Amino acid sequence: MTDPDQTSDIVIGIDLGTTNSLAAVVGKEGPRILHDADGRALIPSVVSFLDGGARVVGSKARAMSVTNPRRTIHSVKRLMGRGLSDVAAELPRLAYEVTTDGATDLARVSVDGRLYTPQEISAMVLTEVKQVAEAALGRTVEKAVITVPAYFDDAQRQATRDAARIAGLTALRIVNEPTAAALAYGLDTSREGTVVVYDLGGGTFDVSVLKITQGVYKVASTSGDTHLGGDDFDNAIIDRILELVAAKTGYDLKVHPQALQQIRLSAESMKVELSAGETSTLEIELDAGEPFRFTLTRAEFEDLIRARLDETIACCKAALADAKISTGDVDEVVLVGGSTRIPLVRRMVEETFGRTPHTELDPDRVVALGAAIQASVLAGGNRDLLLLDVIPLSLGIETVGGAFAKLVTRNSTVPCRAKEMFSTSVDDQTAIDINVFQGERELVRDCRKLGAFKLRGFPPMPAGLPRVEVTFLVDADGVLTVTAKEQRSGAEASIDVVPSHGLTRDEVKGIIRESIAKAREDFAHRELVELRNKAHNLVVGTKRVLAMPEMPFTDAQRDDLHSCIAELERLSHGDDAKALSKACDAFGEKTQALADEAIGAAIKAELNKELGRLPS
């Protein structure tokens, strides 16, 4: 069953994080993290747009967040597959602008008047990761396993797949982060039994309960919150600072992007400091040169974040209940994600499960390592391991009165499928509209709309007679595809899916086309710059020659050259690369001929001088 083409391909694992992203690969020695030329593994998931359409990604971009706040995009993962209304609460704290295109609610990032989808920004981060991996491996990389939070819904998973496609990567599999972490830990110790993975990252929280038997990692249940992580703890500190500054001076720093960004970075380092130390102090200078000093103790910080951490513990209990086990049945607890370095997190997890959690592997790298292991399974290099993951949220459709009919219940092992019969309510109706939702509530208005589709193409029949069988298939990535068939006519009913918070296939294709066009545009721009340089050199050189008194040019030749120079200068200020290129070539030929003539004349003169000295 092993395809030789596939085994010879390299597949990397990518942890596409809210704060940082990184890649890993399985080599002969086992899984390893890939580093850039400076030895860094973590690539900040930040994109900064510069003047003239250029951009930087990673640590360079992160360094620009204070000087270039409105054009430096961080934490874009929180916008993936979301609508503007979903993320409204966090917008005031972002220094960059998030808006919509007016036609759909899909959140878009606005930079210098151009709108970017979160997928495009993510693709820029992925491209950077891909380049780092290619440099480290010395070969091109086209395939990857990319991790997402287990609690990502269908739209968020689709968005991640689309980002990969835009970045020129085939996402062979979307793997849940806690599952990947379990894989990395399991490989380390070949452990068996029931494992709970508590994954608190920069922007998301997941908990998964897994049963490991003979290399099979079966996820029993998962729970989480895609908007709970280190960013929220930073925000708690930021809010506290803003509050104190406002109380003390009356300034509203929220309207100063640069100050806000500065405070964001300070809040983050205070949080990090408080994991080791007992207090952390911030000193900043406000507008009027007035110093502002703020000290936070660890106990105060813990009070700021305790309510959010209680939510994570509630998720843990829900996951155990869904897996039909109690804390006593848990053999191991594993901590993943940078935020699990916070001592209070460790304490609360330990209290909940009554055991010391595992922290041996670097919580920032374990997910990428696990992704690499799964990548090696998919590349055909490892048949001992098998991941059986679940869908985190129930899938269903809208029925009469806005009720939510679940077709696939949460925590069903993927791949899974469900079939449902639909019929018409009016005679000769040839199309049926179906709305697909994801969530756990009774009414669709409390669930998340994934999209709408229209069944069409079946023959007109009396009401209720058509029997359209719709199959909902959730693949191993947890992504839904819908197919339909009219049973009486046997006709394949065609489906147009309109995603609510994602991109259609055509839109993704459009973005890819555009990025190729953009690459051409960049190339054309570079060409123009080179031509301008060339023209400049020609003009300067010619002027210098014209200034030489010994040059035997006629007045007509001088006038001609001056008008040619004027023409070149005029074209250099324009954008017409073709005309400039032509003019440069023509000018080059002309000056070459003149130079030949001039040199010829100069040589003749020199020769004559020489000849004159010769005795006759």
Partner 1 sequence: MTGLDLVGHVPPCPSCGAPSPGSTLVCLVCGSVLDEPAHANHFTRLGIDPLVPFDAADAEARYIRLSRALHPDHHGGTDADSQFAAVELSAKLNEAYTTLLDEQRRHEYLLSLLDPDALEKHKTLAPDFLMEAMELSEELEDARTRGCRATIERIASLAKDEIDERMKNVTMACRHTMERIAAQQAHGNGAGGVPSRPLTLWNTDKIATLLHQARVYRRILRDTQR
Instruction: Choose the stretch contacting partner 1; rule: CB under 8 A; options: 10-18, 427-435, 472-480, 564-572.
Output: 472-480
C-alpha pair distances (Å), 275 with each of 131, 263, 342, 592: 33, 19, 5, 72
- Min separation Cβ 149 and partner 1, Å: 20
CB-based burial, 214-240: b 16+ in 10 Å, e otherwise: eeebbbbbbbbbbbbbbbbbbbbbbeb
Per-position DSSP letters for 488-512, written without gaps between them? TT-PEEEEEEEESSS--HHHHHHHH
User: Which of positions 144-203 make contact with partner 1 (CB under 8 A)?
Assistant: 173
* Smaller CB separation from partner 1, 267 or 408: 408
* Residue 602 binds to partner 1 (criterion: CB under 8 A): no
Residue 482 lies near partner 1 (rule: CB under 8 A) = no
Which listed residue (153, 177, 364, 398) is catalytic? 177
Angle between helices 298-322 and 257-276 (to 10 degrees): 80
For residue 61, the minimal CB distance to partner 1 (Å) is 35
Binding to partner 1 by CB under 8 A, coded x per residue (else -) over 416-455, reads: xx--------------------------------------
328 scored as a contact of partner 1 (CB under 8 A): no
Judged by CB under 8 A, the stretch of 219-227, 339-347, 411-419, 446-454 that binds partner 1 is 411-419
Under the criterion CB under 8 A, does residue 412 sit at the interface with partner 1? yes
- Name the residue with tokens 């790298």: 365
Q: Which is nearer to partner 1, 174 or 584 (CB)?
A: 174
Q: Smallest distance, Å, CB 484 to partner 1? A: 15
Which stretch in 90-98, 358-366, 467-475, 535-543 sits in contact with partner 1 by CB under 8 A?
A: 467-475
The arrangement of strands across the sheet holding 431-438 comes to: 403-408, 395-399, 431-438, 448-456, 492-499, 480-486, 468-474, 416-422
From the CB of 353, what's the least distance to partner 1, in Å? 21
Q: Which stretch binds partner 1 (CB under 8 A): 412-420, 462-470, 495-503, 564-572?
A: 412-420
Least distance between partner 1 and beta carbon 375 (Å) = 11
The residue (of 213 and 425) whose beta carbon lies closer to partner 1 is 213
Taking every pair of Cα atoms in the chain, the longest distance, rounded to a whole number of angstroms, is 121
User: Considering only residues 33, 141, 387, 565, which one is a binding residue for partner 1 as defined by CB under 8 A?
Assistant: 387
- Candidate list 38, 39, 112, 214; residue touching partner 1; CB under 8 A: 214
**Residue 96 and residue 47: Cα distance in Å, rounded?**
11
User: Of the two residues 78 and 143, which places its CB atom closer to partner 1 in the complex?
Assistant: 143
Residue 415, preceding peptide bond in cis (omega within 30° of 0): yes
4 in contact with partner 1 (CB under 8 A): no
Q: Minimal distance in Å, beta carbon 389 to partner 1?
A: 10
How many binding residues for partner 1 (CB under 8 A)? 26
Helix (H) or strand (E) holding 220: strand 216-225
Q: How far is CA 128 from the centre of its chain?
A: 10
**The binder of partner 1 chosen from 1, 54, 103, 556 (CB under 8 A):** 1
Phi, psi of 536 (to 5 degrees): -60, -45
Listed in order, strand segments (DSSP E) in 129-169 are 143-148
Q: What CA–CA distance (Å, rounded) separates 255 from 224?
A: 33
413 lines the binding site for partner 1 (CB under 8 A)? yes
Does 473 contact partner 1 by CB under 8 A? Answer: yes
Residue 343, amino acid = P
Say which amino acid occupies 152: F
**Complex with partner 1: residue 11 or 493, whichever CB lies closer:** 11
Instruction: Write the DSSP symbol of residue 444.
Output: G
CA distance 457 to 481: 19
Q: Which is nearer to partner 1, 214 or 425 (CB)?
A: 214
Among 26, 180, 316, 378, binds partner 1 (CB under 8 A): 378
Q: Which of 154, 199, 225, 389 is catalytic?
A: 199
When binding is defined by CB under 8 A, the residue of 50, 87, 91, 216 that contacts partner 1 is 216
Quick one: tokens of 261? 């960004």
Helix, strand, coil percentages (3-state) for the chain, rounded to 5, are: 45, 25, 30
Rg for the chain, CA atoms, rounded: 32
Judge whether 199 counts as a catalytic residue.
yes
Q: Minimum distance from CB of 418 to partner 1 (Å)?
A: 8
Rule CB under 8 A: choose which of 238, 373, 397, 414 binds partner 1.
414
At its nearest, how many Å lie between partner 1 and the CB of residue 312? 23
Binding segment (CB under 8 A) for partner 1, from list 92-100, 301-309, 409-417, 596-604: 409-417
Is 5 among the residues that bind partner 1 (CB under 8 A)? Answer: yes
Sheet holding 47-49, edge to edge: 55-57, 47-49, 72-73
Measured CA to CA, the distance from residue 337 to residue 354 in angstroms comes to 21
Considering the complex, state which of residue 389 and residue 398 has its C-beta at the smaller distance from partner 1.
389
Residue 145 φ/ψ, nearest 5 degrees: -105, 125
Which of these, 561, 536, 535, lies nearest to 548 by C-alpha position? 561
Per CB under 8 A, 3 contacts partner 1: yes
Could you say whether residue 505 binds partner 1 (CB under 8 A)?
A: no
Minimum gap (Å) between residue 474 Cβ and partner 1: 8
Report phi then psi at 23, rounded to 5.
-120, 155
How many Å apart are CA 493 and CA 510, to the nearest integer? Answer: 26
SS (H, E, C) 459-484: CCCCCCCCCEEEEEEECCCCCEEEEE
Using the rule CB under 8 A, give the single segment among 1-9, 117-125, 230-238, 394-402 that binds partner 1: 1-9
Residue 84 near partner 1 by CB under 8 A: no
Rounded least distance, CB 126 to partner 1, Å = 21
Write down the least CB distance from residue 23 to partner 1, Å: 20
Joined tokens for residue 537: 């050199």
Contacting partner 1 (CB under 8 A), which of 347, 383, 526, 543? 383
DSSP 8-state assignment for residue 390 = B
- Verify whether residue 77 is a known catalytic residue: yes
The span from the CA of 363 to the CA of 338, in Å, is: 6
Crossing angle of helices 298-322 and 343-353, in 10° steps, is 40
Catalytic (active-site) positions: 15, 77, 177, 199
Q: Which residues bind partner 1 (CB under 8 A)?
A: 1, 3, 5-6, 173, 213-214, 216, 218, 374, 377-378, 383, 386-388, 412-417, 473-476
